[in-house]
Amino acid sequence: MKLLASDRALAFAFAGALAVLNALADPILSSLRDAGLFGTLISLAGVSAVIWFALFAVLRIALEPVALEAAAWHRADMAALMSILALTLFPAPWPATLAVFAAGAWLFATADGNRSRRVALVLLALSGPLLWGRVILTLFAPVLLALDGHIVGALAGTAATGNTVGFVGNGARFIIGGPCSSVHNISLAILLWSSIIALLDLRVDRPLIMAGVVAMAGMFALNIVRLTAIAYFPADFDSLHLGTGATLFSWAGLLLAGLIVGGGAYAAIDRQR
């Protein structure tokens, strides 16, 4: 506690991490209730592995050794931190998602060193899948979900109307909802890219940006493959939507994006020496 009180970057990192956990309380508690402890561990509590990795990155960076003078508190820091904690502890997910963004934005705006900026970068990226992706979907859902629907319908060879796609062979239809949108996968790719860059303290250059773009494209394509598989195999809808199949696709996404971004990061380490 003494270390937390003396280091502003660490304090805001812990506040942001707590806000993330509160924002994800519903899926975590639902997973514990429905799948038990073992099932929750296997499914990562219904939370993307990328988000868990980003939380690790935030705390790992925040716990790096730092000179005492770089940890000094700024004026209004305590008021900002108390406001963020108030949002975090509010018994609803939306205030907690705002708290994640607020923690990252405040720390970035008042950064007193490289470590603070890196923590802020990951917190801001975490607000992507938790907050801004949902805002974008709320504002542009008809267009974005219809785009997914038409691509999946074309690949499956079935009719698509807006975000409603026909199953192959039985004439029934399924709806592509917000959580299944490719926007979510793209925000996860951005989060993984930001987390690895911050964790390894890399300088953003053109090849690294290209690696991020390729990772986003890969995650978009993988989500389309999953949705197309749902259209082809209606009997496996539950598995591919929320069950074992969805978990396997989640891990495949982490592996795919990890290989792309990790390869870009490895090349950047050698290039930036």
pLDDT band at 72, cuts 50/70/90? low
pLDDT tier for residue 17 given thresholds of 50, 70 and 90: very high
| φ and ψ of 173, to 5 deg | -135, 155
pLDDT tens, position by position, 172-186: 888 888 778 888 888
Q: Which range among 163-167, 205-209, 243-247 shows the weakest confidence by mean pLDDT?
A: 243-247
- Other CB atoms within 10 A of residue 234 CB: 16
Which one is predicted more confidently, 12 or 36? 12
* Spatial separation of the C-alpha atoms in residues 168 and 155, rounded to whole Å: 11
Q: How far apart are CA 167 and CA 36, in angstroms?
A: 32
**Distance between terminal CA atoms of the chain?**
37
pLDDT of residue 101: 95
Tokens of 172: 């029934």
Backbone φ/ψ region at 262: left (φ over 0), alpha (ψ -120 to 50), beta: alpha
Is residue 171 predicted with pLDDT exceeding 80?
no
pLDDT of residue 91: 79
Q: Letter for the amino acid at 183?
A: V
Average pLDDT over residues 120-124: 95
- Whether the pLDDT of residue 68 is over 70: the answer is no
Highest-scoring range by mean pLDDT, 1-15, 34-48, 167-181, 200-214 = 200-214
Cα–Cα separations (whole angstroms), residue 63 to 4, 12, 52, 82, 199: 10, 12, 17, 21, 11
Q: Which residues pair with 173 in a beta bridge?
A: 166
What is d(CA 10, CA 62) in angstroms, rounded to the nearest whole number? Answer: 5
Distance separating alpha carbons of residues 7 and 87, to the nearest angstrom: 21
* pLDDT value at 124 more than 90: yes
Amino acid at 271: R
Q: What is the pLDDT of residue 3?
A: 46
Per residue in 199-222, pLDDT (tens digit) is 999 998 999 999 999 999 999 999
